[in-house]
Amino acid sequence: MKIFIMTDQEGVAGVLDSEHYSGIECPYYELAKELLTGEVNAAIDGFFAAGATEIMVADGHGNGSIHQLQLDRRVELLRGFPTGYPFSLDNSFDYIAWVGQHAMSRTEYAHLAHTGSMAKFEYTINGTAVGEFGQLAMCASELGVRAVFGSGDRAFCAEARALVPGIESVEVKRGITPGRGDECDAKQYGKRNAGAIHLHPERARRLIREGAERAVRRAQTEKFGIIPLKPPFEMVKQFRATSERPMTTIRGTHPTSVVALLKSIPVDPPAPASKK
């Protein structure tokens, strides 16, 4: 049984904000790596207990956030995604899981919600709003890899269950900021959703370990984890206004493949024309 774990950082218990935790220049960056790796190791324990034989951990945070020496020695670590989606996921994997995941941009009562960066307003595929989780989960479904587990903040867990009915989710904190932040530009949005109530990291790890084992045991007897996909596919990306450009929208389509669609659309909008 082969499992792919996608990791991020903003959905980890004890990661309090982006300003002090998320970048290599931040004072608590090394602590954030330890906190994430502890949650990942908890999920790994649960997956192996449920019968996993091979696990790949993908370090999906922008600056990297897995502590290599603290990571469970039974797994392999993937860092770097030169071809983009689906981030080296292929149909040799049975299941995919997420640890440390945050909710998508515009999610109410979410902690550090964003999609790719704080400059993104909203992404949709065939009219359904999707964040980082949703895009990869759709890729996994196209490949026949079942999405069975996710941990992060409460808003992310609700997002995951809405898109993938039956998925096992474990919340380790909950955001406390109301509203969607539509009035914010990119800089303002980056500071908006920093309020949250966190579980103690040890309690979070215990819940993740239990949830991960439960997810895989359920997946062996229950049918869940594949999102029904109906081609053709259209993606719309909206970007928040910045000091350099107004709010911007780009679109792309593909007749048959979500993976190909995601590969074909630029991550960022075109740079504004220089003024002479």
> Tell me: the pLDDT tens digits for 84-139?
999 999 999 999 999 999 999 999 999 999 999 999 999 999 999 999 999 999 99
Which pLDDT value is given to residue 270? 79
Nearest to 229 by CA among 137, 162, 113: 137
Has residue 274 got a pLDDT over 80?
A: no
The residue with greater pLDDT, 209 or 270, is 209
Predicted pLDDT of residue 186: 92
Q: What does the pLDDT read at residue 275? A: 54
Residue 276 reports pLDDT greater than 60: no
Q: What is the mean pLDDT of the chain?
A: 96
Give the model's pLDDT for residue 273.
62
Q: Is the per-residue pLDDT at 272 higher than 80? A: no
pLDDT band at 267 (very low <50, low <70, confident <90, very high): confident
The structural domains of the chain, with segments of one domain joined by +, span 2-227
Check residue 251 and give its pLDDT. Answer: 97
Tell me the percentage of the chain whose pLDDT exceeds 90. 93
Q: Which residues are CB-contacts of 162 (< 8 A; sequence separation ≥ 6)?
A: none
Mean per-residue pLDDT for 192-216? 98
Of all residues in the chain, what percent carry a pLDDT higher than 70? 99
CATH 2.30.30.790 for the 2-227 domain, yes or no: no
